[in-house]
Amino acid sequence: MKVSIGKRLFFAVLLAFLVVAGIGVELVRWKLSDRVPRPSTDVQEVSGWVEQLSAHYRKHGDWSFLPADPEQRRRWFLDQMPGVEANGMPALRYRSPNLDYRIGLLDGHRRFLAGVIASPALVAIASVDTVRRSIVVDGVEVGYLVVARSQNPDDDLAIAFLLEQQKNLLLVLAVGVLLSAFAAALLAAHFRQPIRQLADGTRRLGQGYFDVQLPTRRSDELGELATTFNRVAARLKDTEHWRQQWVADTSHELRTPLSVLRAQLEALQDGVRAATPDTVALMLRQVLSLTALVDDLHELARADRGQLQCDKATVDAWQLVAEVFKSFGEKFREAGLTPSLGAAPRQSAVLADATRLRQVLVNLFANSVRYTDAGGRIDVHGDLFERELHITIDDSAPAVPAALIERLGERFFRAEPSRNRQLGGAGLGLALSRQLVDAHGGRLEFAASALGGLRVTVALPLESR
C-alpha cells in the first residue's frame, strides 16, 4: 500500500506530540501524587452514596428530583455523599478530599446525569481505571455511580486534576492534531516539489531527454541530490553524444577503404582496369586497413566489457622498449627524424603481458613517426618514481593545442589541423593503448613536450619483490 509523504509526516508529527503529551501527563501524576502511602476508601464512600441515591429514586420514581441547572445539580450531587468512619469514630463529612472530582452519575441507559465521567481518550492516555457501582431499585438497575481511580491510590489527586481539566486537555489534543496536520502539510509541500521534480526528471531521462536539469537552489540533502542528478544527466548526455559520434566516425572510417575497394572491383569488372600487381596490392592495402580497424574496434569492445586478455609475467620493460625502438630505426630514417634512447633505469621489471606492452609501444612510436615533421627529434627515456616505471616519449613540432591534449586517447579523435586524417590512422591507436595500459594497472598520460611536440608517458607499477 502506498503511503504518501504527507501522511508519513503527519503521523510522525502527531506521534511526537502524543509522546510529549504522555510525558506531560506522567509528570502531572508524579507531581501531584501523595508521598505517604494510604489505603483507598473509595469503595466505602461509594457504597453509602449508592444507598442514598437509591432512596431518592425510590421516593420520586425517576431522576427528576435532580436540579435542572448543571452547576446546582453538581453541588447537590456532591452534597449527598455520606460520611464514613475515621479512626473508628463516626464522621459527618469525612471522605477522600479528591473524590468529588473523580465520581459521576449515569442513568440506567448510561447517559450522563451529574459529576465527572472520564472520557475514553483520557482513560486510554492516562491509564485511568473506572469502578462502576449499580444503583438498584426494586431489582432494577436505574443508574450507576462511576469512580475514576488509579491502580495506585497515591495518584488519585493527579487523576482528579486530569478529570477536572479533561475538556481543556481534549481541546489541546484537537489543536495538536490540527497543528500536526498543518505542519505535515507545510513539510510535505516543502519536500514534495523537489521530489516531484526529481521523479519527472528521471522519467524524462528514461525517455532519452538527456538535457534535463533540476533546480539546485536548496542547500539540504535534496539540493545535493538534485546536483548529483544534474551531473548524471550531463554525463549521460555526453555519453549519448560520444555514442552518436562513435557511430558516425566508425561508418566514416569503414566507408573510405570500402569505397576504394568497390571502385577497384567495378573497374576490374568493367574492364577499365586490368588485374595488375599494383591493382591487387592497392586492394590488399585497403583490406589490411579494414582488418586493422576492425581488430582495434574488437579490442576496444572487449576492454569495455572487461574481457581484455592479458597473460602477465615478469617482463623487463626497458629491454622491450629498446627492442621496439631498434625495430623502428628504418622508419625513423625514412621520416627524417633523429631518435635518441636514454640510459636504462636501475630497475625496470614489471608484471605485464609482453605482447600487449609491445603493442602499446608500437602504437606510440608509430604515432610519433607519423605526426612529427621531418628534421625533428624523438627522445625516449625511462625514470623511476617511487614504485613506478615511467617510459617517456618526446617528439618535436608540430605541437598539439593545449585545449586538445586532454582529449587525446578518445576514440576516433585526431588533433587538427596538423595531425590529420591525411597522415593515416583511424584515431583508435591511443584509445586502445590507454585501455591496454589501464589493464596493467598503469596510466597513459599526455602533455606538451619541451621539444615542441607531444610528450607521452607510460607509467607502470614495478614488480613487487
Half-sphere exposure of 298 (CA within 13 A, CB side): 7
Instruction: Provide the β-strand partners of residue 396.
Output: 452
| Residue 383, pLDDT above cutoff 60 | yes
Place 6 in a pLDDT band, splitting at 50, 70 and 90: low
Query: Looking at residue 36, what is its pLDDT?
Result: 43
- Percentage, residues of the chain above pLDDT 70: 74
3-state SS, residue 84: coil
Instruction: Provide the β-strand partners of residue 444.
Output: 458
Q: How many helices (H) and strands (E) does the chain have?
A: 13, 11
Residues 286 and 408 in one domain: no
Q: Give the three cell numbers for residue 326.
A: 631498434
Name the most confidently modeled range: 31-45, 52-66, 95-109, 379-393: 379-393
Q: How many distinct structural domains can be found in the chain?
A: 3
Place 399 in a pLDDT band, splitting at 50, 70 and 90: confident
Q: What is the mean pLDDT of residues 383-399?
A: 91
**Of 304, 325, 360, at which residue does a domain stop?**
304
| Confidence (pTM) | 0.48
Residues 267 and 350 in one domain: no
Residues 297 and 322 in one domain: no
Domain that holds residue 155: 33-164
Residues 295 and 338 in one domain: no
Question: Does any domain span residue 15?
Answer: no
Adjacency order of strands within the sheet including 129-137: 112-115, 103-107, 140-149, 129-137
Question: Does any domain span residue 182?
Answer: no
Residues 348 and 441 in one domain: yes
Residues 155 and 276 in one domain: no
pLDDT tens sequence across 246-295:
677 677 667 777 887 888 888 888 887 788 888 888 788 778 777 877 77
**Of 304, 337, 371, at which residue does a domain stop?**
304
Question: Does any domain span residue 46?
Answer: yes
Helix axes 277-304, 221-270, angle to 10 degrees: 160
Domain with residue 297: its CATH number is 1.10.287.130
Domain with residue 420: its CATH number is 3.30.565.10
Closest CA to 135 of 76, 73, 80: 80
Residues 274 and 322 in one domain: no
